[in-house]
Amino acid sequence: MFKDKIAVITGAGGTLCSEIAIQLAKNGAKVVLVGRTMEKLQSVLDKIKSERGEGFAYACDVTDKQAIANLAKEAENKFGLCDYLINGAGGNNIKAMPTITKFDERELSGDLPEGQKGLYDIDIDAFERVLNINTMGTVIPTMEFAKQMIKKGGGSIINFASMNTYCPLTRCFAYAMSKAAVSNLTQSFAAYYAPANIRINAIAPGFMVNERSKNYLGTVEEGLTQRGEAVINHTPMGRFGRSCDLTGCVKWLLDDNASGFVTGITVPVDGGFLTLGGV
């Protein structure tokens, strides 16, 4: 399906995008793995090569315009012009999050109990970094690799949104704000690049299993935290998502034969989370 297509995947060292990269490589794509930590990228690349796939790893900051320009040049030199871009890099920062879920007068006077912090106690620089990685970390690679797609006559881009795109979860102010922006820029960029035959869509993963989520949600098999129970009770399918749950949607959105008239949408892959109003 994707034989000899060139796919650039940011955040490729993470649980979700590493699986996407592996599956695309299995389907014949040449994958460019992008992330901040070469060690993680190399582990994914080793697995791809062990199954006779093609790819290479490149460590850089996706919010650095010059670094992304250098990446694009390197990718073109190795494999040729890009067909697909998956903007999977992003994340949250606990320093940008309060521990309480609603305003408490004591946060203004510094009298909250030890270990608690309100909105006025968060690290505003961390808040800004979350906005930057999720928004500009999508915008900059899109603009750079769209140049290659224009030369090639078209391409497909997938951005990563979130359940926070639709309704902000408690305490996730910066993350929710940035993921709402991702859905909006997906629409506006899709309209702008349509004359160049570049389709731009997004996926919004539900609550997925990874090492980080286990710390604050727990697992269905081994026991849930209070927040994890709230998520499962709000998910009709009664489980967390797995990385493999995303790959079918990704392949559909990339494939011009399957989704050639689809652009500007955000697809929830959430086990039905958005179908319930919580009452």
How does pLDDT run across 99-126, given as a tens digit for each residue? 999 999 999 999 999 999 999 999 999 9
pLDDT tens readout for residues 169-183: 999 999 999 999 999
Q: pLDDT value at position 210?
A: 76
| C-alpha torsion sign, points 7, 90, 244, 253 | negative
- Give 88-131 as a DSSP string: ------GGG--SSSS--THHHHT-SPTT---GGGS-HHHHHHHH
Q: What value does the CA radius of gyration of the chain take, rounded to a whole number of Å?
A: 19
Active site residues: 175
Q: Is-above-0.75 flag for pTM?
A: yes
pLDDT recorded at residue 279: 66
Domain ranges of the chain: 6-96+133-206+241-267
Q: What are the E-state strand segments in the chain?
A: 6-10, 30-35, 54-59, 84-87, 155-160, 198-205, 218-219, 223-224, 266-269
134-176 confidence digits (pLDDT tens): 999 999 999 999 999 999 999 999 999 999 999 999 999 999 9
Beta bridge partners of 57: 33
d(CA 224, CA 246): 23
Q: Are 251 and 267 in contact (CB under 8 A)?
A: no
Q: Which fold has domain 6-96+133-206+241-267?
A: Rossmann fold (3.40.50)
User: pLDDT averaged over the chain?
Assistant: 95
* Res 209: pLDDT: 81
pLDDT tens, N- to C-terminus, the chain (279 residues): 799 999 999 999 999 999 999 999 999 999 999 999 999 999 999 999 999 999 999 999 999 999 999 999 999 999 999 999 999 999 999 999 999 999 999 999 999 999 999 999 999 999 999 999 999 999 999 999 999 999 999 999 999 999 999 999 999 999 999 999 999 999 999 999 999 999 999 999 999 987 677 777 888 778 888 888 989 999 999 999 999 999 999 999 999 999 999 999 999 999 999 999 876
